[in-house]
Chain A
Amino acid sequence: EAGVAQSPRYKIIEKRQSVAFWCNPISGHATLYWYQQILGQGPKLLIQFQNNGVVDDSQLPKDRFSAERLKGVDSTLKIQPAKLEDSAVYLCASSLGTGDGYTFGSGTRLTVV
């Protein structure tokens, strides 16, 4: 089966600019997650979708981050305006349920300068 697709792989932007990341999960996976992984740390959940509804966005910095999952398939994560501390790898994952584990995409490495 095809994996979780993410794009772009790399992005360099200046602070205060905006950026968007795209994710296409595994077909049939209703649950989609965006995680932020800062260098040297484990992934931290930003937002969880179930189909096209938000289940958990308690750790999403809503003043600058937004995410949507139209039609319950693809998802986009946006940062506007970016800060230096947003430099990280943004990982998208999808699953059928926690017991199945997640399938992760390769991530987008964001550098804010």
Chain B
Amino acid sequence: AQSVTQPDIHITVSEGASLELRCNYSYGATPYLFWYVQSPGQGLQLLLKYFSGDTLVQGIKGFEAEFKRSQSSFNLRKPSVHWSDAAEYFCAVGEGGNTPLVFGKGTRLSVIA
């Protein structure tokens, strides 16, 4: 069965600084990988996804993520964080088709001036 680990529960960065959120997955074949963002009181919004092709994927709001099969990782990055990026970020893995996604426990991002 798939599983997702997000090692960092809470990260604080200064506005304008770079950001990297870690995600490690467990799955035997090539996974479908996703990053979602959740603002307080809101549902989850899809930031980006990967299932084949270029291992560096671009998403919305200036985010990108890199799939590294050798490390079973799919880390999310942003070169310059804005205060509006403060939210909860979830990594998710799926098998493809209509199999349900399995989510990590999330990383809460705080942005300070």
Residues of A within 8 A of B (CB): 4, 6, 31, 33, 35, 40-45, 48, 50, 55-56, 91, 93, 95, 97-99, 101-107, 109
Contacts and interface: CB of A to CB of B under 8 A. Distances in A.
Contacts of B25: none
A104 B36 CA distance: 10
Given A48-B98, A48-B100, A50-B98, A102 B46 contact: yes
Nearest to A30: B98
Interface residues of B, number: 27
B90 to A, nearest CB: 5
Interface in B67-113: 90, 92, 94-106
Interface in B38-62: 41-46, 49, 51
Contact of B44 (A43, A48, A50, A56): A43
Interface of B: 4, 32, 34, 36, 41-46, 49, 51, 90, 92, 94-106
B103 A106 contact: no
Contact of B43 (A42, A48, A55, A91): A91
A42 B100 contact: no
B84 to A, nearest CB: 18
Contacts of A95: 98
15 contacts: A35-B103, A42-B4, A42-B90, A43-B90, A45-B102, A48-B98, A55-B98, A95-B98, A97-B96, A98-B95, A98-B101, A99-B51, A102-B101, A103-B46, A107-B42
